[in-house]
A and B are shown apart, each in its own frame.
Chain A
Amino acid sequence: MIKHLLSIDQLSPSQIELVLKTADSFREVGTRTIKKVPILRGRTVCNLFFESSTRTRISFELAAKRLSADVINFTGDARSSLAKGESFKDTAQTLQAMGVDAIVVRHSSAGAPHRLSRWVEASVINAGDGAHEHPTQALLDLYSIREHFPSFDGLRVGIVGDILHSRVARSDVAALTKMGSQVTLVAPPTLIPPAIDSWGAEISYDLEEVLPKLDVVYLLRVQKERQNEQLVPSLREYATFWGLDRRRVDLMKPEAIIMHPGPMNRGVEIAADVADLERSIIIDQVTNGVAVRMSLLYLMLGAADRALEEVPVG
């Protein structure tokens, strides 16, 4: 297995399959009374979060604890002194000196996890860097899709919303196209990034035209904190043109599913009642996130170079 997970691009389709298949076994562990296995006893995982996060940090923390690893949480503010390169490096060296085995890092600057990986011996896992990538979100999304469809090949996935600022969209497009799915990005022109041609996805500006063709409708969070950038006139207008309400759900294929990385803005990108529909798998995504992160930590912290070999079990 790879030493660091910085970007989806590092993973081959067979490595992605291995992560997902191993996550199946951890899903089962999550259904037990004792939801903990001893395999990473004595290892230490540090959650190094320079940007606010609740669910991703908790998910990683739970994943590490259920593997019996020790967990330390280091939370910094990217706008404080830690944003300066030298301080970031000092933090890294401090963690290195304490002997951590894995560092899960979130940072507002794209490329921060990559830089960190060159400073430390530990495995580095990118838990979101600026508008760059969020590879573990993409893996848990793949896992969640795989529970509903037999194959990624030819699957049509629409990602709707703020593509411009979304690391989730970037990682999901990379992962889904790698596995053979067709991705359509649906957004107002102001929220489509300039270099979109290189993503390998189709673009649409018309949600209602695209909806009937999709197997998966993936809604991105409207980043309310970016309202002052004036990219969308108002939240109400966003909901009118881009929000998924009951009327639009009726345009979807009967077997199509609805996903969202959370946290949701009910009434903006997703209508309150739509979020609770049977075909909305948003809660499953959260459950699967723990299993997929357990799978990654297990595969990455084991004997590094052997994971894809057929090693006999005796």
Chain B
Amino acid sequence: MDRFSTSVPISGSSTVKAVVLESSDIDRAMKRMAHEILERNHGADGLVLAGIRRRGVPLAERLGNEIERIEGIRPPVGALDVSFYRDDIAIRQPADVGQTALPFDVAGKIVVLVDDVLYTGRTVRAAIDALVDFGRPRAVQLAVLIDRGHRELPIRADYIGKNLPTSSREAVDVRLAETDGADSVVITEGPS
């Protein structure tokens, strides 16, 4: 089950190996991604952001704020919970099911999915399935703060905060002010 631990520390048993990003690094990465999103889509017209619970949601809010600062228009921001679309219910059951709240119609929109860590790609697969239940977007793009490799599905990110080659024995912890009190990205090594 260590392989699933991309964002939540295993309590008590993991050790921090390296701090990869500090708060200011995260800020700069988010600003750059906001610019890239606007450049690629020729502005914010028809653009909506959908954060994948949990930590994708505050990141989507931050991208929304940056886009507003640059463009003067704030794209609508929603939250997507993918628990009911996962493929691993037989082996693992998340205790913390959240709620989906998409305060916009996805039909015809360019939807940017936002998550903290891209790893196996299975969460993103579930997120795309969850999203299309709400309508047919014009396009779906993916923004992640960290891409740590080890994909198990043919999925890639369109916007990446930082590429972070890791071993699958390591875990990447993204901590955000909104969910964890302060911003940082650290690599930890869990029990094997």
Contact = CB atoms under 8 A, between A and B. Distances in A.
Interface string B66-83: 000000000000000101
Nearest to A307: B93
Given A312-B10, A314-B7, A38 B100 contact: no
Interface stretch (A21-29, A52-60, A197-205, A282-290): A21-29
Contact of B89 (A21, A22, A303, A309): A303
A309 B96 CA distance: 10
Contacts, number: 91
Contacts of B93: 1, 299, 302-303, 306-307, 311
A195 interface: no
Contact of B94 (A34, A38, A311): A311
Nearest to A29: B84
A314 B129 contact: no
Interface stretch (B15-23, B27-35, B117-125): B117-125
Is the interface on chain B under 10, 10 to 19, 20 to 34, or 35 or more residues?
Answer: 35 or more
A314 B4 contact: yes
B8 interface: yes
A11 B97 CA distance: 19
Contact of B120 (A18, A37, A314): A314
Contacts of A33: 134
Q: Is the interface of A mostly helix, strand, loop or mixed?
A: loop
A104 to B, nearest CB: 19
Interface string A1-19: 1000000000000000010
B41 to A, nearest CB: 26
Interface of B: 1, 3-11, 54, 81, 83-86, 89-101, 117, 119-120, 122-123, 129, 133-134
Given A39-B85, A310-B96, A313-B123, 17 more contacts: A18-B95, A21-B97, A24-B99, A25-B97, A28-B99, A29-B100, A38-B129, A39-B83, A39-B84, A40-B89, A302-B89, A303-B92, A310-B8, A310-B95, A311-B4, A312-B8, A314-B119
29 contacts: A1-B93, A18-B95, A21-B97, A25-B81, A28-B100, A28-B101, A29-B100, A32-B134, A33-B134, A34-B134, A36-B133, A301-B89, A302-B89, A302-B93, A309-B95, A311-B1, A311-B4, A312-B7, A312-B9, A313-B54, A313-B83, A313-B94, A313-B123, A314-B4, A314-B5, A314-B6, A314-B119, A314-B120, A314-B123
